[in-house]
């Protein structure tokens, strides 16, 4: 079926709704007919629900009982390309279609008529009695005749009270009109000149432009050290895409969606792009969704879910910081936005640019295999040089109990402060202390509902479970032995490190950046901007600071515990540590000043630590690739995680064992099943969790096999089953 297919009134159409049904339902096309892909409202039992005309009706139902579509909504129909993409993404992630459609309709009030607001224009009547105020209003409206203003705006521009304007409306000298609230976005001008690019940058930009002009799908890995100008280069690709009249999407990790980035886009193209993220207002979301659908938003800058917006003609998707783990959605629909971006582009003849200083091994391997093109920027722009990286061998530092900043690191921080530069102390742990221990009985305080320790958050004056978010006041009595005042924090978190820094550097202005310390994304962004402008001497931060923020005065990064990520059984532990350490170190010395990164470690000979310090990235990737290849794990093999959960631990295990016994469909494709075993976090919110792991060869069709494997299962009671294709985390 084609985009322009049309159904006349009364014809049978199949409508996919966002309700959990396993297929589209038949309805009769409404009065006036409807397009294929139309967003419609249909009756379902006693309710009205949102749906999309997915195709012809199946016609296998008593025709006399078929109801009519209530109405087609005032929105551009969903294009073939997006319908097919949702279908393929559903197959890939083993997600039911209604859940996929919910992702693509995540804007409120899509069914509402466009809401209106009053705007004011010049009328035909000239009032008999003129005053200065009245004259100013009429002049403003005459001068800006092409634009529409609200009452408040007119009054402000004319410098009068709104009653003056209202008075003119009564006389007919000013006209009051209704105008839709969902206004188009201001046009971006791709013809404006960008920065003068260096030779390397220009070569990379030219290659991306050529790719776009081919109007065929292709993915390019744009690898370049932090500060090498990747953003400048991919903005050139965006410019080319806009010149071609196609839409572009820039995906950023949610937290990197800062004013700084938007301001850069505005400086380049003369207007702000549409901005899609969890902090956007409901009205704004609706406006973006509609305008994207009408092709009126040229460029969207957004978090991962913007991939499901109804673009009319998407020509380019940039995935910035493509290695970032937050691209994987870990609840609801388990999808990886980076992989889905490639899928969507492949289906719509669009280009993808994956930008990173430390690509994921997946993308690195795809480039190695020739599936992706690869462009590399090796030098930092201008004077900026890469930070010098060194280990601080903690075995030979004199450390007091309860202290984490070594004397060597302390000295280095002081030296920077004397020069008026900033230092960042990095620790990837939220809260005050990860463990609260009873010194009388050795008990560690855990969450009642989860298999997790409670983490002290002194800032909130509570203990918090990082799994379920439950908090309790900090107790003074051990819940296990009843001893009083014997509870002690063990280990450092970002808050405790702040306390130590304040004590060690009494003169310094210390700022702490941790995602849980700010009420809103907006407050956090404001704090980041304030720090960037020199509002702090020492920044204490978690992972949050590793992501794309530019702190021009920052020249020293001290990593408190470089060994932290190396423990654990995660197959990506080495890769993650390598990426994180390089990213964090890359925060130092981004402007003219040179930077340094110091890594506190108890195992300076560890191969990953040596690779980080040595800076021979290719050697690291090759070694890591060889290990994964030998183990047959991603990206050289396929994996899927199955998590079973329920309140009755016996029932959860019974289900797991039954699955493991009946693994015929998996054996059929040569896949292996491991487990069932208690998940690393064996209980969350009172539900017991059991994992199975499916491992198969690279090209094996695991989705189909898993679908056949789990199809016979009927989940009883509160049992739940979730399938995670290409799992990124193994909790």
Residues near ligand ADP (CB under 6 A): 195-198, 201, 224, 226-232, 381
In angstroms, give the least distance from the CB of 209 to ligand ADP.
16
Instruction: Select the binding partner of residue 198 from ligand ADP, Zn ion, none (C-beta < 5 to 8 A, by kind).
Output: ligand ADP
Instruction: Select the binding partner of residue 449 from Zn ion, ligand ADP, none (C-beta < 5 to 8 A, by kind).
Output: Zn ion
In angstroms, give the least distance from the CB of 470 to Zn ion.
5
- Please report the DSSP string for 351-373 in residue order: EEEEEESS--HHHHHHHHTTSSE
Torsion, Cα 657 662 663 664, to 10 degrees, reads 170
In angstroms, give the least distance from the CB of 274 to ligand ADP.
21
* Whether the Cβ atoms of residue 498 and residue 512 lie closer than 8 Å to each other: yes
* Whether the Cβ atoms of residue 627 and residue 681 lie closer than 8 Å to each other: no
Q: Kindly state whether residue 438 participates in binding Zn ion, applying the rule CB under 5 A.
A: no
Of residues 358, 428, 417, the one with CA closest to residue 555: 417
Q: What is the C-alpha R_g of the chain? A: 29
In angstroms, give the least distance from the CB of 118 to Zn ion.
50
**Angle CA(475)–CA(481)–CA(483) in degrees, nearest 5?**
60
In angstroms, give the least distance from the CB of 234 to ligand ADP.
8
> Is the bond preceding residue 635 a cis peptide, omega within 30 degrees?
yes
Number of residues that bind Zn ion (CB under 5 A): 7
Q: Kindly state whether residue 468 participates in binding Zn ion, applying the rule CB under 5 A.
A: yes
Instruction: Please say which residue, 199 or 717, places its beta carbon nearer to ligand ADP.
Output: 199
Q: Phi first, then psi: give them for residue 132, nearest 5 degrees.
A: -55, -45
Instruction: Please say which residue, 224 or 675, places its beta carbon nearer to ligand ADP.
Output: 224
In angstroms, give the least distance from the CB of 551 to ligand ADP.
12
Residue entry with tokens 């292996």: 672
- The Cα–Cα gap between 54 and 20 comes to 16
In angstroms, give the least distance from the CB of 647 to Zn ion.
14
Q: Which of 49, 342, 447, 494 is close enough to bind Zn ion by CB under 5 A?
A: 447
Instruction: Please say which residue, 11 or 470, places its beta carbon nearer to Zn ion.
Output: 470
Instruction: Select the binding partner of residue 447 from Zn ion, ligand ADP, none (C-beta < 5 to 8 A, by kind).
Output: Zn ion
Instruction: Please say which residue, 180 or 534, places its beta carbon nearer to ligand ADP.
Output: 534
- The one segment of 51-59, 342-350, 470-478, 561-569 that binds Zn ion by CB under 5 A: 470-478
Instruction: Select the binding partner of residue 467 from ligand ADP, Zn ion, none (C-beta < 5 to 8 A, by kind).
Output: Zn ion
541 has which bridge partners?
426, 513
CA 706 vs. chain centroid, Å, equals 28
In angstroms, give the least distance from the CB of 479 to Zn ion.
15
Q: Phi first, then psi: give them for residue 70, nearest 5 degrees.
A: -70, -50
Instruction: Please say which residue, 5 or 379, places its beta carbon nearer to ligand ADP.
Output: 379
- The Cα–Cα gap between 247 and 307 comes to 12
Instruction: Select the binding partner of residue 195 from ligand ADP, Zn ion, none (C-beta < 5 to 8 A, by kind).
Output: ligand ADP
Instruction: Select the binding partner of residue 660 from Zn ion, ligand ADP, none (C-beta < 5 to 8 A, by kind).
Output: none
Instruction: Please say which residue, 261 or 404, places its beta carbon nearer to ligand ADP.
Output: 261
Instruction: Please say which residue, 230 or 453, places its beta carbon nearer to Zn ion.
Output: 453
**Angle CA(561)–CA(411)–CA(532) in degrees, nearest 5?**
75
Q: Which of 150, 467, 471, 662 is close enough to bind Zn ion by CB under 5 A?
A: 467
Of residues 225, 226, 228, the one with CA closest to residue 205: 228
Pairing of strands 351-356, 538-541: unpaired
Instruction: Select the binding partner of residue 228 from Zn ion, ligand ADP, none (C-beta < 5 to 8 A, by kind).
Output: ligand ADP
Q: What is the DSSP letter of 329?
A: -
- The Cα–Cα gap between 610 and 541 comes to 24
Instruction: Please say which residue, 198 or 467, places its beta carbon nearer to ligand ADP.
Output: 198
- Please report the DSSP string for 294-321 in residue order: TT---EEEE-GGGGGS--SSEEEEEEET
In angstroms, give the least distance from the CB of 202 to ligand ADP.
9
Instruction: Please say which residue, 85 or 381, places its beta carbon nearer to ligand ADP.
Output: 381
In angstroms, give the least distance from the CB of 195 to ligand ADP.
4
Pairing of strands 274-276, 247-251: unpaired
Q: Kindly state whether residue 450 participates in binding Zn ion, applying the rule CB under 5 A.
A: yes
> What six digits make up the tokens of 517?
């310390």
Instruction: Please say which residue, 157 or 472, places its beta carbon nearer to Zn ion.
Output: 472
Strand segments, DSSP code E, in 397-507 are: 422-426, 435-438, 454-457, 462-465, 471-473, 487-490
In angstroms, give the least distance from the CB of 230 to ligand ADP.
3
Q: Which residues lie below 8 Å from residue 672, measured CB to CB, with a gap of 6+?
A: 666, 694, 695, 696
* CA dihedral over 421, 427, 431, 432, signed as positive or negative: negative
- The one segment of 458-466, 546-554, 707-715, 722-730 that binds Zn ion by CB under 5 A: 458-466
Report the 10 Å Cβ neighbour count for 485. Answer: 10
Instruction: Select the binding partner of residue 227 from ligand ADP, Zn ion, none (C-beta < 5 to 8 A, by kind).
Output: ligand ADP
Q: Kindly state whether residue 470 participates in binding Zn ion, applying the rule CB under 5 A.
A: yes
Instruction: Please say which residue, 230 or 688, places its beta carbon nearer to Zn ion.
Output: 688
Instruction: Please say which residue, 35 or 687, places its beta carbon nearer to Zn ion.
Output: 687
Q: Kindly state whether residue 682 participates in binding Zn ion, applying the rule CB under 5 A.
A: no
- Please report the DSSP string for 55-99 in residue order: EE----S-GGGPPBP-EE-SSPPPPHHHHHHHHHHHHHHT--HHH
> What six digits make up the tokens of 57?
């009706």
- Three-state DSSP at 535 gives coil
Q: Which of 153, 176, 368, 449 is close enough to bind Zn ion by CB under 5 A?
A: 449
In angstroms, give the least distance from the CB of 564 to Zn ion.
22
In angstroms, give the least distance from the CB of 446 to Zn ion.
8
Instruction: Select the binding partner of residue 80 from Zn ion, ligand ADP, none (C-beta < 5 to 8 A, by kind).
Output: none
In the complex, which residues of this chain contact Zn ion (CB under 5 A)?
447, 449-450, 465, 467-468, 470
């Amino acid at each position: 079926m084609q985009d322009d297919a049309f159904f006349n009134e009364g014809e049978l159409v199949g409508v996919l709704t966002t309700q959990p049904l396993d297929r589209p339902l038949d309805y009769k096309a409404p009065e006036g007919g409807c397009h294929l892909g139309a967003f419609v409202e249909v009756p379902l039992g006693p309710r009205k629900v949102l749906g999309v005309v997915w195709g012809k009706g199946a016609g296998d139902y008593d025709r006399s009982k078929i109801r009519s579509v209530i109405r087609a909504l005032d929105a551009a129909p969903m294009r073939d390309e997006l319908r097919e993409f949702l279908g393929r993404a559903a197959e890939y992630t083993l997600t039911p279609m209604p859940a996929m459609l919910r992702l693509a309709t995540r804007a409120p009030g899509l069914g509402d008529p466009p809401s209106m607001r009053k705007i004011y224009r010049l009328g035909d009547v000239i009032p008999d009695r003129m005053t200065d105020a009245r004259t100013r209003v009429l002049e403003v409206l005459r001068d800006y005749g092409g634009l529409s203003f609200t009452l408040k705006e007119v009054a402000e521009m004319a410098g009068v009270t709104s009653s003056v304007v209202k008075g003119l409306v009564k006389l007919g000298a000013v006209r009051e009109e209704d105008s839709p609230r969902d206004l188009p976005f201001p046009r971006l001008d791709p013809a404006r000149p960008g920065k003068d690019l260096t030779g390397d940058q220009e070569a990379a930009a030219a290659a991306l432009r050529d790719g776009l002009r081919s109007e065929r799908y292709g993915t390019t890995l744009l690898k370049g050290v932090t500060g090498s100008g990747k953003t400048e280069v991919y903005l050139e690709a965006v410019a080319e895409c806009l010149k071609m009249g196609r839409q572009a999407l820039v995906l950023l990790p949610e937290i990197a969606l800062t004013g700084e980035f938007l301001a850069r886009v505005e400086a380049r193209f003369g207007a702000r792009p549409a901005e899609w993220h969890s902090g956007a207002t409901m009205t704004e979301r609706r406006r973006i969704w509609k305008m994207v659908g009408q092709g009126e938003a040229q460029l969207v800058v957004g978090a991962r879910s913007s991939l499901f917006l109804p673009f009319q003609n998407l020509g380019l998707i940039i995935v910035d910081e493509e290695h970032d783990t937050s691209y994987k959605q870990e609840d609801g629909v388990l999808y990886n936005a980076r992989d889905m971006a490639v899928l969507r582009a492949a289906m719509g003849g669009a280009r993808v640019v994956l930008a990173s200083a430390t690509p994921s091994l997946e993308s690195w391997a795809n480039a190695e295999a020739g599936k992706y093109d690869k462009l590399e920027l090796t030098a930092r722009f201008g004077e900026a040089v890469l930070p010098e990286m060194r280990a601080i061998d903690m075995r030979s530092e004199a450390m007091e109990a309860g202290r984490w900043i070594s004397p060597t690191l302390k000295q280095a921080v002081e030296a920077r402060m004397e020069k008026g530069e900033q230092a960042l102390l990095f620790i990837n742990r939220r809260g005050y202390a990860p463990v609260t221990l009873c010194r009388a009985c050795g008990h560690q305080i855990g969450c009642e509902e989860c298999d997790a320790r409670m983490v002290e958050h002194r800032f909130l004056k509570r203990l918090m479970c990082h799994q379920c978010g439950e908090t309790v006041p900090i107790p003074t009595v051990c819940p296990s032995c009843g001893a009083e005042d014997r509870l002690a924090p063990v280990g450092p978190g970002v808050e405790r490190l702040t306390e130590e820094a304040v004590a060690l550097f009494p003169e310094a202005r210390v700022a702490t950046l941790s995602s849980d310390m700010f009420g809103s994304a907006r407050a956090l962004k404001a704090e980041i901007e304030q720090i960037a402008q020199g509002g702090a001497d020492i920044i204490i931060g978690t992972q949050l600071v590793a992501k794309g923020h530019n702190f021009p005065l920052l020249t020293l990064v001290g990593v408190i515990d470089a060994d932290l990520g190396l423990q654990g059984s995660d197959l990506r532990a080495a890769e993650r540590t390598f990426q994180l350490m390089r990213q964090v170190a890359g925060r130092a010395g981004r402007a003219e000043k040179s930077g340094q990164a110091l890594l506190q470690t108890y195992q300076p000979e560890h191969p990953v630590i040596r690779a980080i310090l040595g800076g021979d990235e290719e050697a690291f990737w090759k070694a890591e690739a060889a290990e994964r290849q030998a183990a047959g794990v991603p990206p050289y093999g396929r994996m899927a995680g199955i998590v079973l959960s329920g309140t009755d631990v016996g029932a959860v295990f019974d289900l797991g064992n039954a699955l493991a016994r009946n693994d015929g469909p998996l054996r059929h494709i040569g896949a292996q099943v491991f487990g069932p075993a208690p998940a690393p976090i064996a209980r969350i919110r009172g539900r017991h969790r059991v994992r199975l792991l499916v491992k198969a060869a690279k090209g094996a069709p695991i989705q189909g096999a898993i679908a056949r494997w789990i199809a016979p299962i009927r989940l009883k009671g509160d049992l739940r089953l979730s399938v995670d294709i290409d799992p990124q985390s193994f909790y």
